[in-house]
Amino acid sequence: MKFMKIAAAIGLAAAALATVSTTAFAQTVDEIIARGKLIVAIDTTTPPYAFLDADLKPTGFDIEVANKMGEALGVPVEFVTVTSPGRIPSLLTKQVDMVVSIFSITPARAIQIDYSIPYAGQSAVVIAPKSTEIKSHADLVGKKVGLTRGAAEDAILTAAAAANPGIEILRFDDYPSLMQAMLSGQIDVMGGGDYGEIYLKKSAGGDDFEQKYPLKTFFFGIGFNKEADDLRQWVNTWLMIQKADGVLDALSMKYRNQPLPALPVF
């Protein structure tokens, strides 16, 4: 008897949870407007895309994109903080309407969730002093190339060094050591994210550096539950207009000091 009561209680609780999660989730634009808010998953540990400002309010590139979307729909945005591995589960369990959080588009992820067209992108690039003439891997021969152990650049440049004998690879444990090596001239070239030179430029003599060529570009899409076709269609339409009006490039200049890479569509 007691067991039955506990089971019933658990069943009720589960039903209540299920109700909460279904009411939180909206599949169509109409449902979002009727509900009066847009629920967006973010990760506030990804500067300059999403981070907490001095007042501990979320800010950054992704946050502004989400807020502009809310404005266009005429509803406020409610942010739900997730970790990077928590992004797909938050969509599958219908806790949020969408994920706007440097969500790189990969075929493996697209098996479980749907993506909007790319709204941003980031490249791993080769950075060197302006006076150094570098256009491709072949120009790295005879140079000391620094990188962060295990970063995306590591695999690409290690393969380049294997194909072009004479490239010396120096692996550092973290980004500050890598930048210090670049600034003190211990390396000739470094691999890093395309916003890396923002940080170099803050250092003495940092103005002498520039991006040489991209290694690989990652494209970010907004993530949806596979049932949310209506909403995704509206977001794609909205993104197309934002791209055409230069809104996304302006945001990129504001947070990344440079325009976005060319964004493909699908």
Partner 1 sequence: MQTALQFGPVLVHFDRLMHGVVQTLYLSFWSIILGAIIGILGAVGRSFGPRWVSLPIAAYVELIRNTPLLIQLYFVFFTLPLLGLRFSSHTAAIIALSVHLGAYATEILRAGVESVSKGQLEAARSLGLKPYRIIRHVVLAQAVRAVYPALSAQFILQLMGTSIVGAIAAEELTAIANNLVMDTFRSFEVYITIAVIYFVLIQGASLFFAGLGRLLFRWKV
Whole-angstrom Cα distance, residue 35 to residue 251?
Answer: 28
Nearer to partner 1 among residue 182 and residue 260 (C-beta): 182
Using the rule CB under 8 A, give the single segment among 81-89, 127-135, 183-191, 243-251 that binds partner 1. 183-191
Contacts of 198 (CB under 8 A, 6+ apart): 256, 257
Considering the complex, what minimum distance in angstroms separates the CB of residue 80 from partner 1? Answer: 26
Using the rule CB under 8 A, give the single segment among 10-18, 65-73, 184-192, 206-214 that binds partner 1. 184-192
Whole-angstrom Cα distance, residue 203 to residue 198?
Answer: 9
Q: Please report whether residue 142 would count as binding partner 1 according to CB under 8 A.
A: no
Considering the complex, what minimum distance in angstroms separates the CB of residue 127 from partner 1? Answer: 16
Whole-angstrom Cα distance, residue 54 to residue 237?
Answer: 34
Query: Long-range contacts for 132-137 (Cβ within 8 Å, ≥24 apart)?
Result: 132/188, 132/189, 132/212, 134/189, 134/212, 134/213, 135/212, 135/213, 136/213, 137/163, 137/164, 137/167
Binding test (CB under 8 A) with partner 1, winner from 57, 149, 216, 226 = 149
Binding test (CB under 8 A) with partner 1, winner from 46, 132, 180, 217 = 180
Q: Please report whether residue 150 would count as binding partner 1 according to CB under 8 A.
A: yes
Interface residues with partner 1 (CB under 8 A) are 146, 149-150, 154, 170-173, 177, 180-181, 184-186
